[in-house]
Amino acid sequence: MLENKAQLAETCKEKALKYLNENYDDDFNPVSFSAKNWARNYESMYFASEKFGNRSVEVRFFENGEISDNYFKLYMENDAIKYFTDLFRILSFKYQTK
């Protein structure tokens, strides 16, 4: 059983690195693997992104062959923080209590 999980983890790592390298200009280091179970219908592999200070990226492998990732959260986070900070500043000036 342990050998099968290790083989599955290695296969997922190779597929995920190929997928990530084809889609993003970044370097990735494997961190962990999770096999599918009763609560999740996919395997997932976590990687550290060198471009984003070793923050994690999850790659999911579904039974139907679909692969998805959450890399977008890394490059969008700073823009989202700035947007909501600016929005809060505008609203706080507009609705000050006296």
pLDDT tens-digit map of 50-89: 999 999 999 999 999 999 999 998 888 878 888 888 888 8
Question: Is residue 96 scored above 60 in pLDDT?
Answer: no
pLDDT at 78: 79
Q: Which two tokens stand for residue 73?
A: 């959260």
Would you call 51 helix, strand, or coil by DSSP? coil
Residue ranges of alpha helices (H) inside 47-95 are 72-94
This prediction's pTM: 0.77
Helices (H) and strands (E) in the chain, counts: 2, 4
Residues 6+ apart with CB under 8 A from 9: 33, 35, 45
